[in-house]
Structure 1
Amino acid sequence: MVFRSRRLAASVGIVAVGALLLAGCTGDDAPNPADLADPLPDDVAAQLEAATERAMQGAGAPGAVAGVWVPWAGEWVEGVGETEIGSGETPSATMTFRAGEITRSMTCDVLFALDDRGTVSVDDPVTTYIPSTPQLAEVTLEDLCDGLSGVRPSQNGRWSSILSNLDRNWEPREFVAEGLGRGMASAESWRDSDSDYFLLGMALENASHTSLRELYRTYVAEPAGLTSTTLPGDAPGTVELTGYYTSSSQRKSACEGEPRDVTELSPTFGYANSGVVSTVTDLRDYASALAANVGSGDDVEPRWQDSLPTDPEGDQWVRAAGGNLMLGTLVGQQGAMVGYSTAAYSDVETGLTVVVVLNNSAAGDEIAGALARELAAIAMQVPGEGQPDTTFPWTVEQAHSAVGSAAVCPIEGD
């Protein structure tokens, strides 16, 4: 409970900023993106496709899928490039891929669902369910969800062994041990730590005596109608969009040569942090439902009330709470799982929804996040009946520049 009180103290004076970012109507007032049938105008579609192709080049990805759903104007969903190098097959919105850190949001969905059922309390100490972590006696389950545990990230220290042993079976406790072994950091501010979600997944499984795979199915996939979203078990899950990775040596030589095919990654990797497999259309439905649940103004749900900036010295409209990132009025997540860079966001005010996947993870999550912001900013300008008189705290040009900054491979014309 100590870390929770520290968080509240640190957030005095900035909670109001988060509330202002979420002011306005809610996603409940907007049409369901799945019900949109009209295509966006051709000139807008061309702009969205060009932005996606540019990000794909910067990521070194042979393929990409992106979707933009604009309640007052229509939809645009496009596969660009190739599913697999040399295949000539264009990716589709129904192809499965590893969704990366969007998994974090789903793990927190399970936490709050089990809290509602009385199986756990979000204020329970981690040690209630993982007694072997006495250093976490004052860290709550909600602290893990919110990135406020002080546990350091684990995967950076294991990256070379992961890439050299793609088919190795991993145990969540291996990553937890790596994070805890690096010593505790300050819990005063948000930290991007995979260890938090490995710990949270383990705690939820122990508390419910149910596999995380089943918890996702019961509390995430079925309620939202996500027919292609799952956490693979020990057997390899079906991943239809081929995933690639461009090595650091290739990046130093302007990404010459073909990136490595890393599609056959062990399904035991990622777990509650980044292990979920999904599709663009499923993530559209997921992000839209998530935004509709956030609330607005003085009625923001507790899960998202005390958002904190991801960088105290950076843009204050980039915030985190409840296992989600909050970019202005967009709520969702972005991530980089071996082979894929992904982002899924929906606007709590208008219901505008954006999902992207690039099938190369070398550029990390920043390039997918920047592309999502660029597509969202383009879409917000599309005229139509009911077009909102609102803007995002970034411009198309700023997001376009951010894509270039995140690129690890040359972009033609830049």
Structure 2
Amino acid sequence: MRRILGFAATTLVATLALTGCTGGSTPSPEEIADPLPSALVDQFVSATEHALEAAGAPGAIVGVWVPWAGEWKSGVGETEPGSGDEPDTDMTFRAGTVTRSMTCDVLYAMDGGSVRIDDPITDYVPSVPQLDDVTLGSLCDSEAGLRSSGDLNWNQILPNTAREWTPREFVSSGLGSGRTSTGSWNNSDTSYFLLGYALENATHTPLAELIQTYLTDPENLKHTVLPASKAATPGSNALPGFYTSSSARQAGCEEPPAEYTKISSSMGYADSGIVSTIDDLGTYTAKLARQIGDLEDPPARWADSMPVDADGDQWIRVAGGDRFYGTMVGQEGSILGYSTATYSDINTGVTVAVTLNNSASGGNVVGALARELAAIAMTADGSRKPEDAALPWTIEQAHDAVTEAAVCPVS
């Protein structure tokens, strides 16, 4: 396929023909009520328990929706080490870099009104004249050559989790380390901090209100919000969040991870500050897949995708604040305390969402787990199962990817 997949030379492409794409007609997760078969559920649980080991996380909340077969939502493990309490699927958590997609949603919803996609960032943030070649759209695509700021500020973030950061501080840190080449993707939180800051300046409205106006209210995402910057738990019924330090990982993760449930969301802001639930993430991501609709002719936001790694697998791509694994679109990443991934298949509507309550593995373990869950889901039988229910990876390959990304010992 032309841009998004870009791996026609591989033998797996034959299984991914886009004829008869059903992305616009599949039921959304909230319309799927039948339980998935117990044999599949056992596979989901086993895969999640393996990922919990790899990430050093006490617990997970998982949702899998298969339009022709049913749904499975569950907590796995425990809310905190030794508690014995299984996470509840209604619990809220920090959704990490899913926030990038939502920030881009706001940008594209405002296009032609308060802002335009091709407006230079200097129209709204004049204090960065060196970025006169950077547009709002290139920030959404993270192709402006801006380096990430999170690692630079990590030694200040970790011991001061209640600190209320301003977007300018993160932007300044990222810009202070220079620029990489433009026109290729860079995993840069600086891009989204700067984009969120520009949208606020353009409208004189806090980003939290813009997300509510342009996304969560219209889409009825009742439990999704960008919190205020004051340190707080992610909601009144929050899944506790943890982090295993690098020294503890080197020692084999024998000590319990440190808890980081109550932090300032300002460390995530437009990049990773969103709080949500599994149901909301499933609904949101499935709609994203339906919005794209047809990978042969996607909307402009996703038309010019780029590989995550120019020298790596070309079917792993990014565009418009989203990641594409073959025909699945979504996001994966972390914020202190939580690692989250959510993907939906554009062809079939299969949707997965999962959060692990330890952020030490970043988005790597949880992203691989999401792919494993999706591969398992594709094996579900049903009379309405589409002919194109296939993915360019196997269950075993995704399982091995979880193991390879492990930051704690796995059995």
> Do Structure 1 and Structure 2 share a fold, with TM-score over 0.5?
yes
Select the residue among 122, 125, 137 that pairs with 1:142: 137
Match of 1:41 among 37, 41, 48: 37
Q: Percent identity?
A: 55
| Distance (whole Å) between structure 2 residues aligned to residue 407 and residue 310 of structure 1 | 20
Deviations 1:331-364 (A, max 9, x none): 1101111001100111111111000000000011
Aligned twin of 1:271: 269
Tell me how far 1:94 sits from its aligned partner. Answer: 1.1
Match of 1:203 in 2: 198
Q: Aligned partners of 1:238 and 1:112: how far apart in 2?
A: 27
1:256-299: CA deviation from partner (whole Å, max 9, x where unpaired):
11100011111322100000000111101110111111121443
Q: Which has the higher helix share?
A: 1
User: What's the counterpart of residue 178 of structure 2?
Assistant: 183
Match of 2:146 in 1: 151
Answer whether contact 2:140 2:320 (CA < 8 A) is retained.
Answer: yes
Question: Please, which runs of 5 or more residues in structure 1 have no aligned partner?
Answer: 1-12
The structural deviation recorded for 1:198 is: 0.2
How far the C-alpha of 1:31 sits from its partner, in A, is: 1.1
2:122 maps to 1:127: yes
**1:108 match:** 104
Contact 1:245/1:361, CA 8 A, preserved across alignment: yes
What number of residue pairs does the alignment pair up?
400
User: After TM superposition, which residue ranges in structure 1, 4 or more long, deviate above 3 angstroms?
Assistant: 13-16, 18-24
CA drift at 1:18: 8.5
Alignment partner, residue 214 of structure 1: 209
Structure 1's 231 and 14: CA in aligned 2 closer, same or farther, altered over 3 A? Answer: closer
Task: Spell out the pairing of 1:20-35 with structure 2 (5 A cutoff).
Answer: 23-24=18-19, 25-35=21-31
Q: Are 1:69 and 2:65 matched, yes or no? A: yes
Deviation at 1:23, TM superposition (A): 3.3
Would you say 1:90 and 2:90 are equivalent positions?
A: no
Q: Classify the secondary structure of the residue corresponding to 1:66.
A: strand
- Structure 2, gaps ≥5 residues long: none
Amino acid at match of 2:98: I
Give the superposition deviation at 1:17. Answer: 2.8
Alignment of 1:343 with 2:332, yes or no, is no
Quick one: which amino acid aligns to residue 345 of structure 1?
Y
Residue type at the aligned position of 1:200: L
1:77-96 per-position Cα deviation (integer Å, ceiling 9, x unaligned): 11011112233221122101
Q: Are 1:229 and 1:276, in contact at CA under 8 Å, matched by a contact in 2?
A: yes
Partner secondary structure for residue 223 of structure 1 = coil
2:372 and 2:4 map into 1 onto residues whose CA distance is: 26
Find the counterpart in structure 1 of residue 75 from structure 2: 79
Question: Aligned partners of 1:95, 1:255: CA distance in 2, in Å?
Answer: 26
Q: What secondary structure is seen at the aligned counterpart in 2 of 1:299?
A: coil
The separation in 1 between residues aligned to 2:170 and 2:289, in whole angstroms, is 31
Query: CA deviation digits over 1:172-212, x for unaligned, max 9?
Result: 11010000000111013111000000000000001111110
Question: Retained in 1: the 8 A contact 2:5–2:317?
Answer: no
Structure-1 residue corresponding to 2:404: 405
CA contact (8 A) 2:94 2:275 kept: yes
Q: What are the within-5 Å matches in structure 2 for residues 265-304 of structure 1?
A: 265-304=263-302
Report if aligned partners of 1:22, 1:297 keep a CA contact under 8 Å in 2. no
Task: Give the direction of change, closer, same or farther, for the CA distance of 1:237–1:220 in structure 2 (3 Å limit).
Answer: farther
Aligned to 1:385: 383
| CA positional deviation for 1:237 | 5.0
TM-superposed CA distance for 1:161, in Å, is: 1.3
Change (3 A) 1:149 1:407: same
**RMSD after superposition:** 1.7
* Closer/same/farther in 2, CA of residues 393 and 347 from structure 1, 3 Å limit: same
Q: Given that residues 4 and 315 in structure 2 are in contact (C-alpha distance below 8 angstroms), is that contact kept between their aligned partners in structure 1?
A: no
Give the distance between the partners of 1:319 and 1:370, measured in 2 at CA: 15
The CA distance in 1 between the partners of 2:78 and 2:395, in whole Å, is: 26
TM-score using structure 2 length: 0.94
Partner residue, 2:156: 161
1:91-119 CA deviation, whole Å, 9 max, x = no partner? 12210100000000000000000004x21
Query: Does structure 2 retain, via aligned residues, the 8 Å contact 1:237–1:267?
Result: no
- 1:17 corresponding residue in structure 2: 6
Taking the aligned partners of 1:372 and 1:388, their CA distance within structure 2 comes to: 21
How far, CA to CA, are the matches of 1:134 and 1:94 in structure 2? 45
Q: CA deviation at 1:14?
A: 4.8
Report the Cα offset of residue 305 of structure 1.
0.5
Could you say what secondary structure the match of 2:213 adopts? helix
In structure 2, give the amino acid aligned to 1:17: G
Asked if the contact 1:18/1:306 (under 8 Å) is kept, the reply is: no
CA distance in 1, matches of 2:229, 2:198: 20
After the TM superposition, which of the residue ranges 200-209 and 288-297 deviates more from structure 2? Answer: 288-297
What secondary structure sits across from 2:85 in the alignment? coil
Q: Is the 8 A contact 1:22 1:329 kept in 2?
A: no
Distance in 2 separating the partners of 1:205 and 1:371: 35
Which residue is 1:361 aligned to? Answer: 359
Indicate the SS of the match to 1:386.
coil
